[in-house]
Structure 1
Amino acid sequence: MESTPRPAVSIVIPTHSEQRWPALVRTVASARSQTYAPAEIVVVVDHNPALFRRARRDLGGVTVLENLYAQGVSGNRNTGAFHTSTSLIAFLDDDTVAGPDWLAGLVAPFADREVVGTGGGIQPAWERTEPAWMPAEFLWAVGGSYAGMPTSTAPIRNVWSASMVVRRETFLAVGGFRTGFGKLGNQNRPEDTELCLRMSALAGGRWMYVPHATIRHEVPATHSTFGYFLRRCYAEGRGKVAMAGLLNGSQSLGSEQAYLRSLPGAVFRNLAAATRGRGTHHLLKACGVLAGVTAAAVGGVVETFAARRTVPAGLAR
């Protein structure tokens, strides 16, 4: 009986700042060290000529490209993905370190032809100690897997582009990441969630979450402050409303609605633990949940009114 050939995979790593050079070098090293060897590693530099020259000079054995689109991570990733020719395309961020079996874990579910993409577990790597007020349910705010996600391989609505593998034919069929919609400056739009929804809508494909296929995502000290947390939640609220406007309205936010319904339980559990003398940090976490929800709600309201202002007067109802 003949064995099925292993699909070839390319790994695309977008980068934009020379300040992340040490982190980028670590990311590339982890990509090279996979037990499931990638066919190609592609680093794409986002409109930074000095960084492009340095990467071309110092990253031997790696394909280095310049973003062919307007500045932004979506076009940066598309540049690398469209360059590749493998049947599967993997994405890592330039501030992540993949475990040696990361790629093997994310490739395995593609034996099912209905799987259009996979994503893995993301562990925050704090530069400082994890804040006492940080609720486990809000680790997504620092790019980590959060409490409530599956603990074994399971279908999921969306994964994150920091740890993602896509089926090439489906990715190309939907046109890749939506350029102009993503992370740039103070704008933080969920371009990965939006891509997942479009890919799964095509012929009813599905995404799989593989929690044991892990990466470590660096969390700098600047991202462990309460101010950053509030800004990130606010931006997420704006981004999800903007995404709903591009797709099928509130129907695209089913996962967010289920997530919000789970948060009162997190508040009550932490308050109960605090009243039982298990530590004041539980009280802080309960307050963190309430603050995060409030910031996201404010962001959603702001984005809703901003979208209404852009509708031509003749079309407004």
Structure 2
Amino acid sequence: MSITPDISVTVVICAYTMNRWDDTRAAVDSVLAQDRAVDEILLVIDHNEELYALACAQYAASPSGGARPRVLTNGHARGLSGARNTGMYAATTEVVAFLDDDARADPGWSEAMVEHYRHPEVDGVGGYASPQWPLDRPGWLPEEFDWVVGCSYVGQPTALAPVRNFIGCNMSMRRRVITSLGGFNAQVGRVGSKPTGCEETELCIRITQHEPTARLLFDPSMRVQHTVVAERTTFGYFARRCYHEGRSKALVSSMIGARDALSSERTYTLQVLPRAIGRGLRSRTADGVTQAAVVVAGLLLTACGYGLGHGRVVLFGAPQ
């Protein structure tokens, strides 16, 4: 197996709740078990003293066969963007990878990622996130909307390809690039369990706006398994997540311009979703017809969130 020691990698895992402690330990263990060892693991605790104490106790001693994960507390504003920025600035390597606290990296994850950074024009690499359902996949949920649960979805590339942005649970970037841009914008992104997002979208677009020749690659062989908890398999969560995605997109559009902020969404809305509706209706099955209806509902909820979010920006201005 080829080893590329010339590319150094830090993996940042951000955690905020005791409820995911078992998942967080599994995420760290998956990084320690990589075929190609990473150079540094930073576990950033987001304003939770109990979780910070537990993590410090857990990783006080070096595990066998790997470097001891370093536990940090979020030194920025509460939320995922602040926690990621804490890890980004603390990292000492060329590449910083971000893995969610409820995701587990496949053994070949780091090796698949690192090979691309041999090319100097590559500023970021993201990968595939496979949903790990609590039981069976919900029959009503179309695969085009797996982004709702933070996973890869129909409409993404199926082979190595340049992309506008990554899925946040499985991505990496050159440290010098993201630090030069100030990292993740704390005005967007998840805070606690509120189903907002788009912080990785906003940063990825800023990268290519700042350096048009930069390449952001999606490699489906860079895989993680992303846990989906039972409460995220309900239509209520689906509706809230779609609505907040629209609001987040409106905020990002106000910050970096609607043309770039909505470029991928136009293709998704005009090509991917109509195919999903047609497939569901042609199936003439209860699940298929339900999925077609869910696609329409998801689109309308997201559009509603975007419209209301845009109106708020017009009335009150974008956060500074």
TM-score by length of 1: 0.93
- Distance in 2 between residues matched to 1:4 and 1:16, nearest whole Å: 33
- Distance in 2 between residues matched to 1:95 and 1:257, nearest whole Å: 30
For residue 69 of structure 2, the aligned residue among 62, 83, 86 is 62
- Distance in 1 between residues matched to 2:4 and 2:72, nearest whole Å: 32
Deviation (angstroms), 1:44 = 0.4
- Distance in 2 between residues matched to 1:25 and 1:45, nearest whole Å: 13
Matched, 1:230 2:239: yes
Q: Deviations over 1:52-106 (max 9, x none)?
A: 1110111241100000011111110111111111001111010001100011111
Check the 8 A contact 1:12/1:41 in 2, yes or no: yes
Matched, 1:201 2:214: no
What does 1:268-279 align with in structure 2 at a 5 Å threshold?
A: 268-274=278-284, 279=285
- Distance in 2 between residues matched to 1:25 and 1:256, nearest whole Å: 35
- Distance in 2 between residues matched to 1:285 and 1:187, nearest whole Å: 22
For residue 177 of structure 2, the aligned residue among 138, 160, 170 is 170
Q: Secondary structure at the match of 1:117?
A: strand
Check the 8 A contact 1:242/1:303 in 2, yes or no: yes
For residue 179 of structure 1, the aligned residue among 183, 186, 189 is 186
What does 1:1-317 align with in structure 2 at a 5 Å threshold?
A: 5-59=5-59, 60=61, 61-185=68-192, 186=194, 188-204=196-212, 205-262=214-271, 263-274=273-284, 279-311=285-317
- Distance in 2 between residues matched to 1:212 and 1:8, nearest whole Å: 20
Q: Deviations over 1:268-295 (max 9, x none)?
A: 1211122xxxx32111111111111011
Runs of 4 or more above 3 Å deviation: none
- Distance in 1 between residues matched to 2:199 and 2:108, nearest whole Å: 26
Q: Which amino acid in structure 1 is aligned with residue 34 of structure 2?
A: Q
Deviation (angstroms), 1:114 = 1.0
Deviation (angstroms), 1:189 = 3.0
Query: What percent of counterpart residues are identical?
Result: 37
- Distance in 2 between residues matched to 1:226 and 1:17, nearest whole Å: 24
Check the 8 A contact 1:107/1:165 in 2, yes or no: no
Q: Which amino acid in structure 1 is aligned with residue 37 of structure 2?
A: A
Deviation (angstroms), 1:203 = 2.1
Check the 8 A contact 1:16/1:45 in 2, yes or no: yes
Tell me which residue corresponds to 1:315.
none
- Distance in 1 between residues matched to 2:310 and 2:4, nearest whole Å: 49
Specify whether residues 156 and 79 from structure 1 end up closer, same or farther in structure 2 by C-alpha distance, changes over 3 A only: same
Deviation (angstroms), 1:171 = 1.1
- Distance in 1 between residues matched to 2:151 and 2:182, nearest whole Å: 27
Instruction: Tell me the number of residue pairs that the alignment of Structure 1 and Structure 2 aligns.
Output: 306
Check the 8 A contact 2:246/2:302 in 1, yes or no: yes
For structure 1, the residue ranges without an aligned partner over 5 or more in a row are 313-317
Deviation (angstroms), 1:43 = 0.2
For structure 2, the residue ranges without an aligned partner over 5 or more in a row are 62-67
Q: Which amino acid in structure 2 is aligned with residue 267 of structure 1?
A: I
Check the 8 A contact 1:116/1:200 in 2, yes or no: no
- Distance in 2 between residues matched to 1:22 and 1:136, nearest whole Å: 27
Deviation (angstroms), 1:24 = 0.3
Q: Deviations over 1:171-200 (max 9, x none)?
A: 111111112321114361310100111112
TM-score by length of 2: 0.92
- Distance in 1 between residues matched to 2:235 and 2:43, nearest whole Å: 32
Instruction: Give the RMSD, CA atoms, in angstroms.
Output: 1.5
